[in-house]
């Protein structure tokens, strides 16, 4: 048996995204309802179990691990996991990164840098404090900006992730690009994804096709397509005269699955082979009931069932929940 995870379509699976917690100190309107019920502790993988699974993936060729949530830095004891995984860098693992809302970044940036984290993605959807509060419900923009500045000051590369939202930030994307360029932060624009119940909101009312954004931006900037690849689904552009690489992630207007090299582990131990499909294997049950010796073979079997792509869709009349899983549980 090869020591490398290869899916049925010949794609090398070398990127693991891990949701370390479903909890978050924000309540972004496109991600979760304001009154979320979070999972009991017994349902969540322990930090030791998370580390065991990550180490097994590294043994089988995983080169990049991204810790996500919820908000990963609110997980109690998460620094121990980061420290231990950081020791794998250069010993099978090429990169350890985080996706964060930035609320804890100022506090933990130095620890992250000391333990091998060279870049982070920060979710930031507006630069107006009131609008930021509106979209996050509980967030403090000044705290996030201070975290970004701290990370940059010690040499951590920051990329900004912005969800494009109709009637919210569509007229502020140019401002965001100018800010990112001035602050030496690359930026990725993301279409809203139909995952999980978000309460009274309907994602169709939030959905803003990035094809429209790109057309609008072309009036202000010269976009130059570049072959940049970061292990994710974004299509990247240089902006003439700006110090920024701008990515577009388009799960709805353009299926981005052709070169998919990743799988996602939920904080409950469910491994999903596709963000938008339900093919999965329960690694928590395997680890707790069968033991480590079964884990490796289970991963080969799981990857053998990885689908070609997702089936995300959105419509005016639909409920617009292609998957009942919230992104916060699935792994960012």
Summarize pLDDT for 37-87 with one digit per residue, the tens: 888 989 999 999 999 999 999 999 999 999 999 999 999 999 999 999 999
Question: Domain for residue 105, yes or no?
Answer: yes
Residue 17: its pLDDT value, please?
95
Among candidate residues 58, 41, 42, 50, the one with its CA nearest the CA of residue 18: 50
- State the chain's maximal CA–CA distance in angstroms: 59
Looking up residue 183, the CATH number of its domain turns out to be 3.20.20.70
Number of domains the chain contains: 1
Q: What is the pLDDT of residues 232-276, one digit of tens each?
A: 677 899 999 998 999 998 865 455 566 788 899 999 999 998 876
Question: Domain for residue 321, yes or no?
Answer: yes
Cα gap 14→62, rounded to integer Å = 4
The DSSP bridge partners found for residue 12 are: 6
Question: Domain for residue 136, yes or no?
Answer: yes
Range of the domain at 200: 15-330
What angle do the packed helices 129-136 and 141-153 form, to 10 degrees?
100
Q: How large is the average pLDDT for residues 154-182?
A: 95
Question: Domain for residue 146, yes or no?
Answer: yes
Question: Domain for residue 8, yes or no?
Answer: no
Q: Which helix (H) or strand (E) covers residue 187, if one does?
A: strand 186-191
Cα gap 282→299, rounded to integer Å = 10
- 53, 199, 264 from 282: Cα distances, Å: 12, 28, 12
Residue 69: its pLDDT value, please?
92
Which residues have C-beta within 8 Å of that of residue 180, sequence separation ≥ 6? 160, 186, 187, 244
- The pLDDT > 70 percentage for the chain reads 85
Question: Domain for residue 140, yes or no?
Answer: yes
Structure token digits, residue 280: 């999965």
Question: Domain for residue 280, yes or no?
Answer: yes
Question: Domain for residue 93, yes or no?
Answer: yes
């Amino acid at each position: 048996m090869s020591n490398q995870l290869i899916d049925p379509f010949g794609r090398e699976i070398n990127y693991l995204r891990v949701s370390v917690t479903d909890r978050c100190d924000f309540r972004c309107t496109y991600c979760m309802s304001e009154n979320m019920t979070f999972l009991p502790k017994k349902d969540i993988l322990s930090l030791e179990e998370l580390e065991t699974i990550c180490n097994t993936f590294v043994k089988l060729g995983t080169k990049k691990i991204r810790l996500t949530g919820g908000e990963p830095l609110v997980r109690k004891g998460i620094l121990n996991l980061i420290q231990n995984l950081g020791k794998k860098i250069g010993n099978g693992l090429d990169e350890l990164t985080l996706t964060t809302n930035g609320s804890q970044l100022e506090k933990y940036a130095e620890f992250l840098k000391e333990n091998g984290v060279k870049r982070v993605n920060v979710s930031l959807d507006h630069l107006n404090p009131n609008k930021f509060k509106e979209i996050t419900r509980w967030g403090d923009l000044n705290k996030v900006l201070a975290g970004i500045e701290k990370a940059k000051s010690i040499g951590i590369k920051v990329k900004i992730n912005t969800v494009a939202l109709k009637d919210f930030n569509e007229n502020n994307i140019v401002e965001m690009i100018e800010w990112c360029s001035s602050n030496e932060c690359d930026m990725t624009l993301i279409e809203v994804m139909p995952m999980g119940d978000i309460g009274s909101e309907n994602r169709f009312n939030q959905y803003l096709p990035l094809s429209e954004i790109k057309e609008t931006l072309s009036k202000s900037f010269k976009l130059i397509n570049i072959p940049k690849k970061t292990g994710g689904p974004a299509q990247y552009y240089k902006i003439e005269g700006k110090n920024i690489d701008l990515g577009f992630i388009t799960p709805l207007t353009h299926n981005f699955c052709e070169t998919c090299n990743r799988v996602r582990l939920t904080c409950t131990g469910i491994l999903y082979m596709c963000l938008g499909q339900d093919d999965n294997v329960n690694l928590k049950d395997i680890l707790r009931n069968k033991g480590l010796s079964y884990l490796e073979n289970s991963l080969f079997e799981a990857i053998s069932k990885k689908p070609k792509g997702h089936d995300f869709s959105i419509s005016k009349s639909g409920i617009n929940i292609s998957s009942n899983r919230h992104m916060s549980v699935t792994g960012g």
